[in-house]
Amino acid sequence: MAKKTSGHREAFKTMGDVFDLFTERTVQKLISQGYLDGLITPIKMGKEANVFLGKKGEGQVAVKIYRLSTCDFNRMYEYMKSDPRFGTLVRKRRKVIFAWTQREFRNLMIAHEAGVRVPVPHAGRNNVLVMDLIGNPAQQLKQQPPEDPQNFFNEVVRMMKKLHAARLVHADLSEYNILNDDEKPVFIDMSQATTYDNTSWQMYLDRDVHNIARYFGKLGVKITDDKLKDMIING
Do 134 and 177 form a contact (C-beta atoms < 8 A)? Answer: no
Identified catalytic residue from 83, 148, 189, 230: 189
Mean pLDDT per 10-residue interval, the chain, length 235 residues: 44 55 95 96 90 96 94 92 89 96 98 98 98 96 98 98 98 97 98 95 97 98 98 93
Helix H, strand E, coil C: the string for the chain is CHHHHHHHHHHCCCCCCCCCHHHHHHHHHHHHCCCCCEEEEEEEECCCEEEEEEEECCEEEEEEEECCCCCCHHHHHHHHCCCHHHCCCCCCHHHHHHHHHHHHHHHHHHHHHCCCCCCCEEEEECCEEEEECCCCCCEECCCCCCCCHHHHHHHHHHHHHHHHHCCEECCCCCCCCEEECCCCEEECCCCCCEECCCCCHHHHHHHHHHHHHHHHHHCCCCCCHHHHHHHHHHC
**Tally of CB atoms within 10 A around 223:** 18
Which sequence spans correspond to the domains of the chain? Answer: 2-132, 139-234
Q: How far apart are CA 114 and CA 147, in angstroms?
A: 27
Pairing, β 121-125 against β 139-140: unpaired
Which CATH fold would you assign to the domain 2-132? Phosphorylase Kinase; domain 1 (3.30.200)
Largest CA distance in the chain: 56
Q: Which residues contact 107 (CB under 8 A, 6 or more apart)?
A: 168, 190, 191, 193, 194
Question: Cα separation of 39 and 217, whole Å?
Answer: 39
Active site (annotated) includes residue 172: yes
Report the pLDDT value the prediction gives residue 97, as an integer from 0 to 100: 96
Active site residue: 72, 83, 148, 172, which one? 172
pLDDT at 20: 87
Into which CATH architecture does domain 139-234 fall?
A: Orthogonal Bundle (1.10)
Task: Give residue 5's pLDDT.
Answer: 44
Question: What is the distance between the alpha carbons of residues 71 and 48, in angstroms, rounded to a whole number?
Answer: 5
